[in-house]
Structure 1
Amino acid sequence: MSLRDLTPEQLKDLAADVRSHYQELKAKNLNLDLTRGKPSSEQLDFAQSLLSLPGEDDYLAADGTDCRNYGNLKGITDIRSLWAELLGVPVELVYAQDSSSLNIMFDLISWSFLFGNNDSTRPWKDEEKVRWICPVPGYDRHFTITETLGVEMVTVPMTKDGPDMEAVRELALDPQVKGMWCVPVFGNPTGITFSEQVCRELASMETGAEDFRIVWDNAYAVHTLTDTFPPIYNVIRMAEEAGNPNRFWCMSSTSKITFAGAGVAFFASSPENLAWYSSLAGVRGIGPNKINQLAHARYFGSADGVRAVMLKHAGSLAPKFERVLQILDDRLGEYEFATWTKPEGGYFISLDVLDGTAARTVQLAKDAGIALTGAGSSFPLHHDPHDRNIRLAPSLPPEEEIATAMDGVATCALLAAVEKLGA
């Protein structure tokens, strides 16, 4: 029965029962963490052989490049060609860099502020105002970049196929709107994958700013939770065919595949965008860590080798996600006040509780020893206007800890809801 359909007496009885459960929860003195989507130790062990690669006498790339030395801003072809195949993009349009795609994103946007990008008439810092389209719920670290640079962030809701394109098209006509954040495959935190139609609309839509850019963060392109992989659309080609060749800045990386902070990040874009990036990246540094790139090329071996590794990750992660979804169904489903995503990939589950109770749910969980990502974290400035969204990250803890934590989260969500309804 829906929580809202309960009689006052039924609601009172439920509230008493939930409060009793909550006191039992607090008495357990838990110390559990569902905050960030970190790989588990089991997942990190999958890449253990990387610690001995490429090997003492293995330092030459396929083209003869001595990876121990300076140079080669694009990165070695060994790993670029492998990732280009995964992304369905020509290798000449893919650069391999150091470990963090987030660093590349920050560089691209901050350089646009300092100097303007290759389609700008002036640096963005000289604009009266810079605005940015932010699909929500979204990735908190994306929003932190634009927040730090003083950008006005404008939200649009997500649908099952991607961002609400009617809202996006209208906003994009504003010449002050310079860009948009996107996580197109198994999005953070919803798990939503953009449809081909949405990808084509983003590539072809009219924009008011000639230097408008879409940051296409394909962080979870191969992070399936099943035995199949989603299609990856070549939006660079789509945009070129639509007459907007420089629209997309595309990112990907080995993050959450190998080792955090010790992987390889990739930047794919048009030739003009890559030339602009190189002109500034070549000032910032003298080339990426090619030894690490070679180690990763040896470890994966091929694009199919990457997919094989990702099926191992899926085998580790899928039971944890299934456990979370089962507990949400069992504990909250009958009351019909909360909804949650059921992703087929990525690292997160997006939980919407009763409006006005997300912050209270998170605080109740904290008081019971369960750490959750802060309410509102998936929105710009950490402000969820409905105070209902909570991002769940089941990857790090063992499955038995996840079960304990999620049972507690369900109790906290129920307690916050009955409080809100006056019981």
Structure 2
Amino acid sequence: MNTELLQQNAAEIRRAYEDLKAKDLNLDLTRGKPSAEQLDFSDELLSLPGAGNYVAKDGTDTRNYGNLKGIKDIRQIWADVQGLPVEQVLAEDSSSLNIEFDLVSWAFHFGTNDSPRPWSQEEKVKWICPVPGYDRHFSITEAFGVEMITVPMTEDGCDMDAVRELVKDPQVKGMWVVPMFSNPTGVTFSEETCRALAAMDTAAPDFRIMWDNAYAVHTLTDSFPEIHNVIAFAEEAGNPNRFWCFSSTSKITFAGSGVSFFASSAENLAWYEKTASIRGIGPNKVNQLAHAQFFGDAEGVRQVMLKHSASLAPKFQAVLRILDERLSDYGVASWTRPEGGYFISLDVLDGTAARVIQLAKDAGIALTGAGSTFPLHQDPNDRNIRLAPSLPPVEELETAMDGVATCVLLAAVEKIS
């Protein structure tokens, strides 16, 4: 921290903040929602599959009940995207979070296919949570009373030394992972880390990794990173049932009416289908057919994502440019430079994140709540802020980020005072 420079410019920073409040802004950077421009990329879906066009390639009448696995038309496309056999991929309704919630709930009520007893009958259930991470993941395990244990993120994924130590405890039943363009850091797990997670010894025979590959194809460049087949890694290592893998089209087509996917071992899928067949009769196959026709194939998915990249990249560049210009000289913050995903992770001066967010709120700029990237909203250092550049137009985003930078500086001035 350049304390001298902060002190020299303290009065100017305070004036800048008063000017900011005088603008009477109403700007929102809280969630990673697609912009209207991005949603327009999929408008063709609104006319698909069309009257009289309801039969899948295998002859399935998509208007009727049944087919718990989802139609092969869309499952094949998504299997090709992820580099998986189609038999290992199920297509469901719009939300992968719904599947994640169901799996945790069913493990508590019934136990998994590898559980000696339902998790609800365990003395305690613990969960590994790499941080900073995704708030909605933490909310699921919080809802079931799970004790969440944090481990730090590194450039290659999670801190594997910490993870290996934690899984020696038989009460540690699971782990959250966003492996590609992670929320909010943008980190992509290396092959070495993926293989280490697949091969490590765990005391709990029913240990599960919730592998939420939500951003697998969400590049901000013109290239796509390799998607590691962790299901195959785990099978090779003798732990075939370790991974529950998820993805969806939620930020590819329409956020609330896409298709979600669950991929895992044959045994895990059979366990899932046993209870899913009681919960429902089948997913929205008409919507699945529409998506299959819209994409055409895996390359069609990538072509849509390049449109998203062209829309999002200038916004991320604007955020990074403003952070560089406004904050670099002061040394009061650091931030990630993601090559994909939906977020930028901003670390401010320890003990000031909540104050920055409150200052921004008072100036009409809504940011994700303090501590949201940690379990129970408890950031022990009061340091991390998740920035979501996707929704506002670039002009509004620049105004908001200039204001956020002013709030970061003012909170730092207050801290050293």
User: Shorter-chain TM-score category?
Assistant: over 0.9
Q: Identify which of 18, 41, 63 aligns with 1:23.
A: 18
Q: Does 1:83 align with 2:111?
A: no
Distance 1:283 1:221 in 2: 31
- Counterpart in 2 of 1:361? 356
1:126 pairs with 2:125 = no
Corresponding residue for 1:283?
278
Deviation at 1:15, TM superposition (A): 1.3
Q: Distance in 1 between matches of 2:337 and 2:167?
A: 30
The residue aligned with 1:137 is 132
Q: Note the alpha carbon deviations across 1:127-167, whole angstroms, 9 max, x for none.
A: 00000000000000000000000000000000011000000
Distance, in Å, in 1 between the alignment partners of 2:256 and 2:401 is 29
The aligned runs of 1:166-181 (5 Å cut-off) are 166-181=161-176
Give the letter aligned to residue 262 of structure 2: F
**1-side partners of 2:80 and 2:167: how far apart?**
31
| CA deviation string 1:297-340 (max 9, x = no partner) | 00000000000000000000000000000000000011112100
Please tell me the residue identity of whatever aligns with 2:2.
Answer: L
Q: Distance between the aligned counterparts of 1:255 and 1:68, measured in 2?
A: 22
State how far apart, in whole Å, the 2-side matches of 1:383 and 1:14 are. Answer: 32
What CA distance in whole angstroms lies between the structure 2 residues aligned with 1:411 and 1:11?
Answer: 12
Distance 1:141 1:194 in 2: 20
Secondary structure of the corresponding residue to residue 9 of structure 2: helix
TM-score, length basis structure 1: 0.98
**Counterpart residue number, 2:232:** 237
Q: Secondary structure at the match of 1:250?
A: strand
The amino acid across from 1:162 in the alignment is: G
Residue 319 (str. 1) matches residue 333 (str. 2):
no
Contact residue 66 and residue 282 of structure 2 kept, 8 A: yes
List aligned pairs for 1:366-381, cutoff 5 A.
366-381=361-376
Instruction: Give the aligned partner of residue 40 of structure 2.
Output: 45
Letter matched to residue 12 of structure 1: Q
Q: Distance in 2 between matches of 1:108 and 1:384?
A: 27
SS in 1 for 2:397: helix
Work out whether residues 6 and 330 of structure 2, in 8 Å CA contact, stay in contact via their aligned partners in 1: no
* Deviation (angstroms), 1:229: 0.4
Q: Structure 1: any 5+ residue segments left out of the alignment? A: none
1:3 aligns with 2
Is residue 340 of structure 2 the alignment partner of residue 329 of structure 1? no
Match for 2:374: what amino acid? F
| Correspondence 1:127-166 to 2 at 5 A | 127-166=122-161
1:260 Cα deviation (Å)? 1.5
Task: Tell me how far apart the structure 1 counterparts of residues 242 and 233 of structure 2 sit (CA, whole Å).
Answer: 10
> Helix, strand or coil for the counterpart of 1:274?
helix
Task: Name the CA shift for 1:11/1:93 in 2 (closer, same or farther; >3 Å).
Answer: closer
Question: What residue identity is the alignment partner of 1:215?
Answer: M
The correspondence of residues 190-209 of structure 1 with structure 2, limited to 5 A, is 190-209=185-204
**Displacement of 1:12 after TM fit?**
3.4
**Conservation of the 8 A alpha-carbon contact between 2:177 and 2:210:** yes
Instruction: Give the % identical residues.
Output: 74
Which residue of the partner structure matches residue 30 of structure 2? 35
Let me know the Cα RMSD of the aligned residues.
0.6
Give the whole-Å Cα distance in 2 for the aligned partners of 1:174 and 1:292.
43
Pairwise CA distance, 1:252: 0.5
Please state how far the C-alpha of 1:287 moved relative to its aligned partner. 0.5
Secondary structure at the residue paired with 2:151?
A: strand
Describe the superposition over 1:377-412 as per-residue Cα deviations: whole angstroms up to 9, x where unpaired. Answer: 000000000000000000000000000000000000
- Show the 5 A alignment for 1:263-278: 263-278=258-273
Structure 2 matches for 1:395-406, cutoff 5 A?
395-406=390-401
Q: Does 1:73 align with 2:68?
A: yes
Cα distance in 1 for partners of 2:267, 2:118 equals: 17
Partner of residue 254, structure 2: 259
Residues 332-347 of structure 1: pairs in structure 2 closer than 5 A: 332-347=327-342
2:105 paired residue number: 110
Give CA-to-partner distance per residue, 1:103-149, whole Å, 9 cap, x none. Answer: 00000011000000000010000000000000000000000000000
| Deviation at residue 3 of structure 1 after TM alignment | 2.0
Q: What's 1:391 paired with? A: 386
Q: How many corresponding residue pairs?
A: 417
**Alpha-carbon deviation of 1:261?**
1.6
Where do 1:92-103 residues align within 5 Å?
92-103=87-98
Letter in 1 for 2:70: G
